[in-house]
């Protein structure tokens, strides 16, 4: 069949074109299982059994953007907003380091309350704790990214969300895909390891678009790709849209692994939210990273990008042992390193 022929092409490590990707994205049932199995083998061959944990600290749920898909959008007036204080952030970071996290991700909505200097000082302080720091704070200018790099930030996570420029511009009012990709190029130029990614199952997204998402990740030469299902949030314009599926998201993760053997791929929290074994399934379809929340419990429920997010009632220490248990149960091991990009080439 055309599926088997295309899978054989993937197994022979031949370059997959857009049509090939669409064939593989159409796999169902047993075909999809074969695809996951191959992706799992590629992960094992190139990266072994190590799973990297990244602790996420959600600094602020204020956001000046109005993305149609996201519960933090400024138009959501029903959400109580919070910002962690400088002290709270550092205490959270210390606790996460004590739990053994070797990478901390500082994530937040686009909140102008925090100045570029504030983030600079924060990163400088956290870097003293001997961890890798990833920033996930949205779009900024070159000089801001440069300042944060000088503070010691190692990585930056800024997903392209969707490679379809029309869909992108519709879902992110006032924003342009081109600008997003410009930010990504600047970050690479500044020596950050770049994390990108997209949502799967957005209304208006097609198989063609999903294939483009994969090709764009490859073209941007990303170090990490976060691929998660779209989950409709009741207080957004997409409230009544369909949710992305487990199966399609897993196929996207698997293909990302197949076309980019050395990229870091998280088993996303969103996947764990739509299916109780979503993260485990992703770890067996190419993923090699998990990003547990380490934010203070009293604020977790408020970081409601999408509804029913897992772990909102769990303390960091609980998630840490929960996830370690899941990783071990799969015959995998928790990495004891910072888990820098195996693609290398970056001087730090």
Q: Interface residues with ligand FES (CB under 6 A)?
A: 292, 311, 314, 318-319, 322-323
Q: Helix-strand-coil percent breakdown of the chain, rounded to 5? A: 40, 15, 45
Are β-strands 193-200 and 333-334 bridged in parallel, bridged antiparallel, or unpaired?
A: unpaired
At 344, list the tokens.
Answer: 């290398």
Q: 138 touches which of ligand 5AD, ligand FES, ligand SF4, none (CB within 5 to 8 A by kind)?
A: ligand SF4
Q: 65 touches which of ligand SF4, ligand 5AD, ligand FES, none (CB within 5 to 8 A by kind)?
A: ligand SF4
Binding segment for ligand 5AD among 80-88, 212-220, 223-231, 245-253 (CB under 6 A)?
A: 223-231
Binding segment for ligand 5AD among 45-53, 123-131, 229-237, 245-253 (CB under 6 A)?
A: 229-237
Choose between 140 and 159: whose C-beta lies nearer to ligand 5AD: 159
Choose between 110 and 314: whose C-beta lies nearer to ligand SF4: 110
How far apart, in whole angstroms, are the C-alpha atoms of residue 188 and residue 190? 5
CB of 2 to ligand 5AD, least distance (A): 31
| DSSP codes, 270-294 | HHHHHSTTHHHHHHTTT--EE--B-
Q: Verify binding: residue 231, ligand 5AD, rule CB under 6 A.
A: yes
Task: Return the residue of 159, 251, 279, 281 that touches ligand 5AD, per CB under 6 A.
Answer: 159
Contact predicate 172/179, CB 8 Å = no
Choose between 254 and 270: whose C-beta lies nearer to ligand 5AD: 270
CB of 31 to ligand 5AD, least distance (A): 26
- H-helix or E-strand containing 333? strand 333-334
CB of 141 to ligand 5AD, least distance (A): 19
At 110, list the tokens.
Answer: 């686009």
Residues that bind ligand SF4 (CB under 6 A): 63, 65, 67, 70, 72-73, 109-110, 138
Contact predicate 86/122, CB 8 Å = yes
Q: Verify binding: residue 172, ligand 5AD, rule CB under 6 A.
A: no
Alpha helices in 51-176 (DSSP H): 86-98, 116-127, 142-150, 165-171
Choose between 70 and 258: whose C-beta lies nearer to ligand 5AD: 70
| DSSP codes, 164-213 | -HHHHHHHSTT--HHHHHHHHHHHHHTTPEEEEEEEES-TT--HHHHHHH
- Which residues of this chain interact with ligand 5AD, rule CB under 6 A? 69-70, 159, 161, 199, 228, 230-231, 233, 270, 305-306
């Amino acid at each position: 069949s055309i599926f088997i022929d295309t899978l054989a092409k993937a197994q022979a490590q031949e370059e997959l074109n857009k049509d090939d990707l669409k064939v593989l994205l159409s796999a169902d049932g047993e075909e999809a299982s074969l695809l996951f199995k191959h992706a799992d083998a590629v992960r094992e061959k190139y990266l072994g059994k190590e799973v990297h944990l990244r602790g996420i600290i959600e600094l602020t749920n204020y956001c000046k953007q109005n993305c149609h898909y996201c519960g933090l959008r400024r138009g959501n007036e029903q959400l109580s907003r919070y910002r962690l204080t400088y002290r709270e952030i550092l205490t959270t970071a210390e606790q996460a380091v004590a739990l053994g996290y070797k990478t901390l991700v500082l994530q937040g909505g686009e909140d102008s309350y925090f100045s570029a200097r504030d983030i600079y000082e924060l990163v400088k302080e956290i870097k003293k704790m001997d961890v890798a720091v990833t920033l996930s704070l949205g779009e900024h200018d070159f000089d801001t990214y440069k300042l944060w790099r000088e503070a010691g930030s190692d990585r930056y996570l800024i997903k392209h969300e969707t490679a379809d420029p029309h869909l992108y511009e519709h879902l992110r009012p006032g924003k342009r895909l081109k600008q997003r990709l410009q930010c990504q190029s600047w970050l690479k130029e500044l020596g950050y390891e770049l994390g990108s990614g997209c949502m799967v199952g957005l209304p208006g997204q097609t198989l063609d678009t999903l294939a483009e998402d994969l090709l764009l990740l490859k073209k941007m030469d990303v170090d990490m790709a976060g691929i998660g299902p779209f989950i409709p949030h009741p207080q957004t314009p997409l409230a009544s849209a369909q949710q992305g599926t487990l199966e399609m998201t897993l196929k996207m993760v698997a293909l990302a692994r197949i076309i980019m053997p050395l990229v870091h791929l998280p088993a996303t929290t969103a996947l764990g939210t739509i299916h109780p074994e979503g993260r485990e399934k992703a770890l067996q379809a190419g993923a090699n990273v998990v990003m547990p929340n380490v934010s203070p419990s009293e604020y977790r429920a408020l970081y409601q990008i999408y509804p029913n997010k897992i772990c909102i009632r769990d303390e960091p220490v609980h998630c840490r042992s929960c996830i370690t248990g899941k990783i071990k149960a799969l015959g995998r091991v928790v990495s004891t390193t910072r888990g820098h990009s195996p693609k290398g080439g970056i001087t730090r």
